Amino acid sequence: MQVHLHNFHLCQNFRSLTSITDKLYPGQTPADRPDLTDRVFNMKLRDLLDDILEKNVLGEVAGYMWTIEFQKCGLPHCHMLFILQKDPEYYDKFVYAELPNLQTQPILFQHVTKNMLHGPCRRDKPNATCMVDGKCKKHFPKVFQENTLHSYNGYPLYQCRNNGFTFTKSNVELDNCSVVPYSPFFLVKYRGHCNVEICASVKSVKYISKYIHKGHDWVTVNISGQTNAQQTHKDEIENYINGCYVFSSEAVWRILGFKLHGSHPAVQQLTVHLPKEQYIYFNDDDDIEHVIHTHDRSTHTEWMRVKWKSPANSFAYTLHYTDFPEFYTWNNSEKM
């Protein structure tokens, strides 16, 4: 089972965190001290990873991947993907999508209503930022759901009962259909927005990786020592340059040497091809005899070769292609 911690960030709480406010000089706001906000976020991120990877609050983790992103306002947030060793009996053990009971869980209720409610939007606020062509791009409000239903191609339909619990936000009454999925443990401990989802698609890996590979935002910059009135000649090619812009929070994060991503375990890419249609790669200075001798080998052909040479009742014969790297190591230089 894959658990996706989507958009873990603490921007709503930066103004009230004593670990930040106590260190501010008179007249300063948290936005003036990216060194403080970055350090606090990194400390909480490491604490969160320790809860999941060492203390196993979600169960035994077989693999994970996380990346740091920086919002337009400059604040960091993190996307995480955890692959659990075994499927839990119930998804509802980890992820909730309902308002808690105010009488029995007042602290959790406070955090959910402060950090995990989407909206109002649609008819109640048609000009909301999430509205595109008259519809909410986040698909809120959800529909009532008596029990959680599993989906193999995306996110489950979480339990979202019509139990009468509501909360008024911006003069609009919101119910369980507007609750962003969350984990009570993480929400109460870290006191910030922490969207937790269970996903069953490999697309989640691509979603997490795309930000760090797309590069920086670009901006056109003009540097001039003259006013427009003094300029007699305007050379756009000379005066304008293209460059990327980086907010202070990201700059400080990199200067402090904090990690931008992490993953475990190492991944072996497995090729899939038709007979004698594998790609052949070699360098100009490679030994030609070695290239000729090994050019037809790939992870796909060698897996089939091992199964062909192994007895039908052997362990190697029973291994699926995707499980092969767990027990065998691919030597790329020798192609075996």
> In what helix (H) or strand (E) does residue 314 lie, and over which residues does it extend?
none
Neighbouring residues of 27: CB distance < 8 A, sequence distance ≥ 6: none
pLDDT of residue 253 exceeding 60: yes
Statement: residue 135 has pLDDT above 60: yes
Average pLDDT value for residue range 203-230: 70
The C-alpha angle 101, 107, 112, rounded to 5 degrees, equals: 70
Q: What is the mean pLDDT of the chain?
A: 83
Cα 273 from Cα 110, distance rounded (Å): 54
Greater pLDDT, 142 or 197: 142
Question: Mean pLDDT across the stretch 62-88?
Answer: 80
Q: Which two tokens stand for residue 321?
A: 């292609």
Q: For residue 8, is pLDDT > 60?
A: no
Distance (Å, whole) CA 39 – CA 244 = 24
Distances (CA, A) of 232 to 226, 227, 235, 309: 10, 10, 10, 81
For residues 108-119, average pLDDT = 94
